[in-house]
Amino acid sequence: VEAAAGEPLAHHVAQRPFIIHLEDPPDAGASCRHATIAVPVGDPGRLEGMRAAIETMRGAVAQADPDAMLAANTDFHIALVSLPGNRRLNDAYASLSMQLTVCMAMNLKFREQLHHDPRDAVRRHEALLGLIEAGDLDAVLVELRNHGDRSFMDRLDELIDPPVPAH
């Protein structure tokens, strides 16, 4: 697989780790601030994009369609980032969406291979939506920190340069 610039994908991602920190920087400050102003959600209609994305994810699992799963995953995250109604945040996310989608694709595939469970993504997103619907900000923040979006990046060095078995 190659990135848009024709570089090998792992190299492309490894050179751009800042993308991963858009939603959850090391101190989690930005995510916490945006979650704090988004949860509890005042207008339940704002959650429709997340609900629709989860329905599409369920269908993608049933059809074993990784492209539909990726599209639904992307839609879910766009809807999540949109919850606070912050145009600047939405614009920043949109400007990086292609790179984020590449990362999401690798992470979804990696997690499915790691856990051997095609419903993993559905369950993680259902859990997050349930906590947002409940208005439990503390639980939402914990779920965001443990969402699994870094599974691929956490093991990137090992995947790029696997350890050589000792003889």
- Binning pLDDT at 50, 70 and 90, where does residue 37 land? low
Q: For 80-132, what is each residue's pLDDT tens digit? A: 988 888 888 889 888 888 888 887 887 778 778 777 788 988 999 999 999 99
Phi, psi of 37 (to 5 degrees): -85, -10
Q: Residue 117, SS3?
A: coil
Regarding pTM above 0.75, the answer is no
> Any idea what the Cα angle at residue 160 is, between residues 157 and 166, rounded to 5°?
85
3-state secondary structure 62-96: HHCCHHHHHHHHHHHHHHHHHCCCCHHHHHHHHHC
